[in-house]
Amino acid sequence: MAKASAPGKVILVGEHFVVENQPAIAAALNLRARVLAEVLSGDFRVEVESKNLSQKAVFQREKANKESPLYPIYYAALMTLEYIGLQKPLKIFIDSEIPPAAGMGSSASVAVATVAATAAELGVKLTLEEVSRLAYQAEVIVHGKPSGIDNTIATFGGAIAYRKSEGFIRLEADFTPVALILADSGIPRSTGEMVRRVRALKEKYPRIMDPLYHAAGHLAIEAGKAIEEGDWKRLGELMNVNHGLLSAVQVSNRVIEELVYAAREAGALGAKITGAGGGGNIVALTWKEDGRKVADALRKISRKVYVCDVSAEGVRIEG
C-alpha cells in the first residue's frame, strides 16, 4: 500500500486572458487530495473508491464505464501502469480536501496523487515531469484540452507562471507572510458559458479587447515580479486591477462583487474572481494575521470559505 497527496490550486491572475496567450499565475494551496494505491490479487482491474463522492466503481479495460465520475481516476492509474509496463490489479482510494468543481484543480490534484501513489505502490520512482505528464493525460479525459496549469501546480507546488507559447516558469517565492482566502459565491460555475461570452466580446470589439488583453498580460508579468519580490501589497493591488478587467469582460456579477468588496473592506490586500467567474469562488490575499478577520467577513455572505496557505510542496509520497 502506498499513499500520495497533491495540492489544489488557485489562479491568482490572468484567467480568461490566458486563452489568448497572455500569461497567468497560479499557486498551490494547502488543501490536498490524498490517494491510496494498493496492488490487489486476481485478474486485472482497477477498483476506485472516492470518499468524497461516496462512490465506488470497478474498471476493466474494455468494460470501463467512461461516464463514471471515477473514470478519470482509473484512467490516471491505467496510464501509469502502462507507462511503467506492469499490469497489476489495483485499488485506488481517494480522500480529498479540495472542493470539487470549484476551480481549485480538484481533478488534477487527484490525478497527480493517483499517478504518484500508483507508481510508488509498484516500487517505481517517477520524475515530477513524468507524474505531471501522466496526470495531464487523465485531465484531457475530463477537460478536453486543458492548459496543463492544474496538473503542473499539483505536481510542483508553489507558484507558477504559465503562457501558452512559453509553457511554465516556476516562481521563486516565499508566501509565508500571506494567506489566501477563498469564498464560494454559491452560484455554480459555468466555465464554458463564460469562456464563450468572453470570446464573443473579443470578436465583437477587437479594438477594445486587444489592448485590454495586453493590459492583462502586463499585469500578470508585474504580478509575477511582485510575487518573487514578496511585495504582497503590490500583488494585492494588481489582483484588484485584474478583477476590474474581469468585470470588463463581463464575467462578474452582483454576488461576486459583494464578496470581493467585503474582503477588501475587511482588510484584504486584494480580492478578485478566481477562475472562470459567473459563479465559483473569489480569492482574497491577506496578511496572515488578517486572515481570520477577512474570513469572518466573508462567512457572513458565503457558506464556503477556505483559509489557505500557499503550499510550497507539490505532490508528496506519504509516510
Q: Backbone phi, then psi, for 308, in 5-degree steps?
A: -125, 155
Nearest CA among 249, 274, 276 for reference residue 260:
274
| Identity of the amino acid at 206 | P
| CA–CA gap between residue 106 and residue 281 (Å, rounded) | 14
Considering beta carbons, is residue 125 or 300 the nearer one to its own copies?
300
Considering beta carbons, is residue 90 or 295 the nearer one to its own copies?
295
Q: Which of 150, 231, 290, 296 is catalytic?
A: 150
Considering beta carbons, is residue 123 or 211 the nearer one to its own copies?
211
| CA–CA gap between residue 310 and residue 70 (Å, rounded) | 28
| Identity of the amino acid at 207 | R
What residues line the site for its own copies (CB under 8 A)? Answer: 201, 205, 207-212, 214-215, 218-219, 221-222, 237-238, 240-250, 252-254, 257-258, 261-262, 265
CB of 199 vs its own copies, minimal distance in Å: 14
CB of 149 vs its own copies, minimal distance in Å: 22
Which triple of cell numbers denotes residue 115?
A: 499517478
The answer to whether the CB of 104 falls within 8 A of the CB of 31 is: yes
The answer to whether the CB of 18 falls within 8 A of the CB of 275 is: no
150 catalytic? Reply is: yes
Q: What is the DSSP string of 122-187?
A: TT----HHHHHHHHHHHHHHHHSS--SHHHHHHHH-SEEEEETTTEEEEE----TTEEEEEEE-SS
| Other C-beta atoms lying within 10 Å of the C-beta of residue 300 | 9
Considering beta carbons, is residue 94 or 262 the nearer one to its own copies?
262
Considering beta carbons, is residue 17 or 175 the nearer one to its own copies?
17
**Which are the catalytic amino acids?**
150
